[in-house]
Amino acid sequence: MTSPFGRTLCAMITPFTDSGTLDLDGAQRLAAHLVANGCDGVVLSGTTGESPTTTDAEKSALITAVREAVGDRASIVAGVGTSDTRHTTKLGREAEKAGADGLLVVAPYYSRPPQDAIEAHFREVADSTGLPLMLYDIPVRTGVRVEAETLLRLAAHPRITAVKDCSGDFLAAQKVLARTDLVYYAGCDEHNLALYAVGGTGYVSTVANVIPAPLRAVLDAFDSGDTAQAARLQQRATPLVEAMMAAGLPGAVTTKALLNALSLPAGPVRAPLRAPDRGTAAGLAALHAKLLAS
């Protein structure tokens, strides 16, 4: 499936200065680095972008700055999902004005609405701008699933075009892929190749912040017909994926620790998140170096 968003998207961190303010220059430099090294899209203000702790004005400023940095070389998908439908539609309109190419909209969290309310929420957001939507299913954070039957109905909306799948339900993803034109992105890096192999379009990757080229190489190998090489490359990345995403710390924390060690723009995380201890940061750096040397 083709997509207006691209194939190899990075769920980009939001760089902050040492004092905790938004680092727009750092965001531009990081976005340009990611695009130069294999990402054809960036997702801003998602989970990895610490969206709960950035203001509406910061979110818009980030889009404008990154647009200036990447031009038309990459898509920009703006995270606008909140637990409030009115606030989400407001953020969507502001993202459109700031230059986003699409919107990432997570299921409303905390209030745990039923499926008909989730469906109505997505439709209202889709109707509020002219931008295509990527729906974000991540029940471990929201407390609710976007059920397959709900996605099947939403697929008929002309601006609901994609899904970022962090559900862990591989069967449901294949069911929706088989019955709709929705394009699917792996939202968990361990699924990048697996979802691609059954018809997914690509990934929205946290780990791509630190290894954009090696992750793209997985999909490139698969596209060239060398599926064995694709599997080897995916497996090569697995130790780092596990350390960054499944070791008990949020991805924003591990990613920023590693980017700082690599002298790439990142800065601190905002409270309530906290930087990892030195041993954890050193372990991440060692795994990264080992992957690049292999």
What positions carry a catalytic annotation? 136, 164
Closest CA to 184 of 171, 172, 167, 196: 196
CA distance 160 to 137: 13
The residue with tokens 């591989």 is 170
The residue with tokens 């954009």 is 212
Closest CA to 135 of 110, 118, 149: 118
- Could you report how far apart the first and last alpha carbons of the chain are, in Å? 32
Q: Helix, strand, or coil here: 156?
A: coil
Task: Look up residue 243 and give its two tokens.
Answer: 């350390």
Phi and psi torsions of 171, nearest 5°: -65, -45
Written in H, E and C, the secondary structure of 247-263 is: CCCCHHHHHHHHHHHCC
**Positive or negative CA dihedral for 39, 34, 30, 258?**
positive
What is the amino acid identity at position 35?
A: V
Phi and psi torsions of 160, nearest 5°: -95, 105
